[in-house]
Structures are given as C-alpha cells and as structure tokens.
Structure 1
Amino acid sequence: MHMGLPGLSLSRVAWLCVAGATLALGVAAAWRRRRAHRSLVQVGTVTGLYIYPVKSCQRVSVEDAEVTEMGLRKGDLRDRFWLVIREDGHMVTARQEPQLVLISVACENGHLILNAPEMKELTIPVKLHKENPVKNCRVFGLDVEGRDCGDDAARWITTFLNSKPYRLVHFETQMTPRKCNEIKPPFRNNDKVPYSDCGPILIISEASMEDLNTRMEKKKDMRYFRPSITVSGCSAYEEDTWDKVVIGDVEMKQVMACGRCILTTVDPDTGIIDRKEPLETLKSYRMCDPAQNHIYKSAPLFGSFYGIDKIGIIKKGDPVYKITEC
C-alpha cells in the first residue's frame, strides 16, 4: 500500500514532483542561456600567487592555490588567518611595527613555522587546543574573533619586536568573518575576509609595477604592494577595468581599486618605514575621481580588489579571461 505524504493525495504529490522538475529545468536552462550569451577574452597570464598567512609578515609564493570565499589557500596556509594583537585585542600591523615584514612564514606537518633575524625558529600547531582562549579582536573598527596561539608565541613576537606585550591569534573557520561591505561599501554583501584589510583577492599587473618604476628614482618591487595574484600580458592599470574575470575554474568580480597607505613605504628587506615612497609618486598621478573621494579619501590607487563569484583552483601560467556579455 502506498502511504504517500501526510495530507497529500497521489495526484498532488505527482503535480509537485512535476512542478519541481520543471522549475529545476528552467533554472538550468536560464543558466545555460546566460553562459551562452557571454564570451571570454584572454587579457593576461597569471605570473604569481601569494599567500600572507600572518598579517603584515612575509608572503609565501605558491605554484597553485585554492581560491576560497575568503582568499587564497594552500593546504593549512590561508591568507591573513593569523594576526598580531595588543593585549586589548587591537590589531598590530607593519604600520605600527614595521619589522613584522621581516618575519618569514612556512607550514609543515600541521605546524606554522616562523623565523626572524636573530631569533630561534618558532613552531605553532595550526589546530590549537580548545583550551586556548578565544580573543575578541579589533581590525579596522570591526570585531572579529581569534584563538590565542599561546604564551610561547606571544613571547617570541614580543621579543623580536622589542615591544610591549603582543599576542598571536588564529582565525578558525567556524568563526564569523568580517563582512567586506562593512569595511568598504563598494563590496557585495557576500564578500568576506578574516583579518585582511578589506577584500579577499588583490590583483596587480606587472605592467602597472613597471609603469610606476618609470616614474621613481629608486625602483620598488611587487613585495611593497602585497598582491594575491600578479598578471602579465596586459597594459598598465588594465586590471582596474576587468569587470569579471575567469582564471582556471574560478570566477571573480572587480569591486574597487586598492587605496594605498603608509604600509607600502616599509622596506621588505630592512623593515624600515620612510613614510614617503612610493606613496608620493603614486599621489602625483593615481588619485581617484573626485566623485569617489568618499571611498578613497586621500589614498592613491594601485591594484584592484576582486570578490569571489565561483571558488576553485588556479595556478601559475593560467590564462586570465575577461568575461564580456554578448
């Protein structure tokens, strides 16, 4: 005997099944039509993929990476998932402690490994004991959690920086990330980050870097600007104009330019901040349209932030395609 669903006749159940199937087919057909009415135009090639596990510390260059909703990931290394804080929870970056840029980061066998000049290597488990307290942190005016990495990490950071007491915290995936549109309004409601400044992916073309260096007496390199992805094969600042891009099986949406601050004036080799270049040169030719002053204020623009529309894997050498609607 067919029991059916409580309160529903067989004819009603059949009608619901047909209606559901029709709706699913309609959605799929609409998606196919949308895909059919767009084309991909190659605009460049990926030349670099960089993860910055500890905010303001050195980058890790990878050959391939998973693009998640919150940025690049390679195994246990995730972008800006670790943060130095004061004891009251406020973030500490190279703006306040320029020598943070001298700390190198690696990951092996489930452990984060930190090295710095004249310091013994520090090893921290990526998965911390649940007994480690969760701290309330403050990053650019927004609250976000982080699990404390322990007293050994705190002493190591404090000793190297020769500072007042600092601690290291780790963002865990069950914690609530910061919403990008609460940091910068141009971002979408679904864009989110842990401890990153304001967006999950920053793209800079090599041509933009080369153009800047033609205007500088002392040349800089890309490390000053901390991109997630570097691209060759396009013109300078063209990355600002790509509305939507496809790399590998990843789709991204250009949201806003990156307004630059004094962090770009920290020498990545010495940890010395001069507070002048490359900012002064950028300000001479890369200021926003006056109509956007409420977004960028006095910051010059260099590189573009992208939000994630489709996650997936990308690798060095991948073509970068711009999506154009037909």
Structure 2
Amino acid sequence: MLNISGLYIYPIKSLGGIKVNSAVLTDRGLEHDRRWMLVDENNRFLSQRENIQMALLKASLVSDGIKVTYTPEGTSVVIPFKPITQTPVDVTIWDDKCMAHLVSTELDTWFSSKLGIDSRLVYMPDDSLRQTDLRYTDEGAITSFSDAYPMLIIGQSSLDDLNNRLDEPLPMDRFRPNIVFTGGEPYSEDMMKHIRINGIDLFGVKLCARCVMTTVDQVTGQKGKEPLKTLAKYRLRNNKIYFGQNLVYLGNGKLNVGDELQVIEEHTEERFFI
C-alpha cells in the first residue's frame, strides 16, 4: 500500500518550505504554494540557482500570513495573505510572462537588505492564469510560480535508495516535493500515469529534471557536489538528471498525511534504463 507520508508547500518561490499535515488543492497547486515570488529589477524571478543565500530565508504559516525569518539574524517579517498595494506588474519565470501584484515597498526593502540584491516581492492573484507546458499537458492546466507544473511527487524509497549510494545521506528538502509517499519500489513514481488520492485524479506528465539547487544545503546555505554527482551515474538521460515526477490533476479537494495513493494506470514506455 502507498500512503502520503509528507506534504510540503513553498509559499515564496525558492525560499524554504513548510511541512503540513493537510493541504487544500486549489486550481493551481496546494494552497499558498508558490503564490509569492521575489523578482529582480527587470521583474525576472530570483532563484537559489544564482542566489544561494535565499536558502537562509525560512517560511512558516501564521494566522495573518506567511512569516519569513532570516536565520543568521533571527529577524522576521510577516507577509499578508493578500498584497497591500495590488499594483499589477508583468513578471518573467523562465520563458513565461504573467501578471502579478506588487506586495509592499517595506517588504521589498527588507528582502533586498537580507539578500544583498535589489528585489521586489510579488503575488499571483487568482485572475493570473499561467498555462503549464503544452508539450506535456492539456490546455487549461495552470500553475503558480513553480518552475512549470503545479505538483511534484517523490517516493521515500527513491530517496532511501539514493542515500544508500551517498557517503552522507541527504534530507528530502533538497528536492522540494509537494507529495512524499511511502511504500513501493524506488522510483516507482516514474511510471505513475494516473493516480488517485482522496477521490482526486492526478496525472504524471513529466519526470523532473534536477538542477544545481539540489546541491545547496537548506540549513547552512552551503553548496556542494551531491546529489547530482551520484545521480548522474544512474539517473542521467539526454544530458539531464531526473528525480521525481511532475503532476497535474482534475478537480479540487484536500490531501492529508496518511491518505492512500492508488495507482490507476502506469506509463507503458520504459522511461529509464536503471
């Protein structure tokens, strides 16, 4: 039997995640997941890929918003669930452009001072509809400020298998999943084409190609070579390293830790040669 063992949201793109016991599934991912994002002076998204100090900003849920703490100092701010200004601005995520709202000049100043770069905080309102990659999904499937898809799933056994190959084991936070499940064989998520959780139908549309962000220690902000060095030995295909699978879904609902994950259909093609 497969069961959800962990649920995670990442309210601000590329900042620390939050482990939750349950999460509402909205039209573009789990509630609050990557609805906020930091952008540079050109309104392009900021990422740990280029700014590893972002790992030192940790998020938590409080009654009136998202609390962000800068761990080296222990200082924090609270981001309201709704933007203060609601001033529209076009932002860029990879090759996509979409509309967002500026949140607060005071928060912009705070983030800029902690990161040491000019940055502005933006929020994705409900009427900003960002289409997922049409090469892999149907028209109408949308996502928030995630890289490309609204959900990412990884099996705990996959991480266990990887850690058995490493000199020092790594935590799941290196891979930023939304759903972690127990049970099944390592990398069984690769083959999941149609799964059902709590009556919600989810579809595996593309394996997740991993980047240097997985090499950043989410506690210290230090960068190393693992896990990409080891993953490249057995998870490399077409010059990309894969770990986890991206999901889209039909309908809304609620996911809970402990929910059973039913595999309705698997992909027929052999997706990896391990």
1:314 matched to which residue of 2? 255
Between the aligned partners of 1:79 and 1:111, the Cα distance in structure 2 is 13
Paired amino acid for 2:96 = L
CA distance, structure 2, for counterparts of residue 228 and residue 108 of structure 1: 20
Query: How far apart in 2 are the matches of 1:128 and 1:236?
Result: 42
Q: For residues 276-318 of structure 1, what are the alpha-carbon distances to aligned partners after superposition, in whole Å with 9 as ceiling and x for unaligned?
A: 2111111110123xxxx4xxxx221100011112321110001
**Aligned match of 2:26:** 68
Task: Say whether 1:284 aligns with 2:233.
Answer: yes
List structure 1 segments (4+ residues) > 4 angstroms apart after TM superposition: none
For residues 179-228 of structure 1, what are the alpha-carbon distances to aligned partners after superposition, in whole Å with 9 as ceiling and x for unaligned? 1125xx22222321121011111000000000001111121110000000
Aligned partner (choices 126, 129, 134) of residue 88 of structure 2: 134
Matches within 5 A, 1:107-146: 107-117=61-71, 118=73, 120-129=75-84, 131-146=85-100
Counterpart CA distance in 2 for 1:146 and 1:116 is 24
In the alignment, the residues of structure 2 paired with residue 88 and residue 82 of structure 1 have an alpha-carbon distance, to the nearest angstrom, of 17
Q: Distance in 2 between matches of 1:256 and 1:88?
A: 30
Name the structure 2 match of 1:323: 264
Q: Is the 8 A contact 1:60 1:106 kept in 2?
A: yes
Matches within 5 A, 1:1-326: 43-73=1-31, 78-117=32-71, 118=73, 120-129=75-84, 131-163=85-117, 165-177=118-130, 179-182=131-134, 185-274=135-224, 276-288=225-237, 293=238, 298-324=239-265
Q: Distance in 1 between matches of 2:76 and 2:2?
A: 39
One-letter amino acid of the structure 1 residue matched with residue 234 of structure 2 = Y
Higher Rg of the two aligned structures: 1
Aligned-pair RMSD on alpha carbons?
A: 1.6
Determine the C-alpha separation between the residues in 1 that align with 2:161 and 2:17.
Answer: 23
List runs of 5+ in structure 1 lacking aligned partners.
1-42
Q: Give the alignment's TM-score, normalised by structure 2.
A: 0.92
1:70 Cα deviation (Å)? Answer: 1.1
Report the structure, 1 or 2, having the larger strand content: 2
Contact 2:196/2:263 (CA < 8 Å) preserved in 1? Answer: yes
Specify every segment of 5 or more residues in structure 2 that has no aligned partner in the other structure, as ranges: 267-274
Secondary structure of the corresponding residue to residue 37 of structure 2: strand
Greater fraction of residues in helix: 1
Provide the C-alpha distance between the structure 2 equivalents of 1:282 and 1:266, rounded to a whole number of angstroms.
15
Q: TM-score, normalised by structure 1?
A: 0.78
In structure 2, how many angstroms separate the alpha carbons of the residues matched to 1:128 and 1:259? 32
Which secondary structure does the structure 2 equivalent of 1:57 belong to?
Answer: coil
Mapped partners of 2:76, 2:36: distance in 1: 17
Shift in Å, 1:170: 0.7
Percent identity (aligned):
29
Whole-Å separation in 2 of the counterparts to 1:80 and 1:126: 12
Partner SS for 2:75: coil
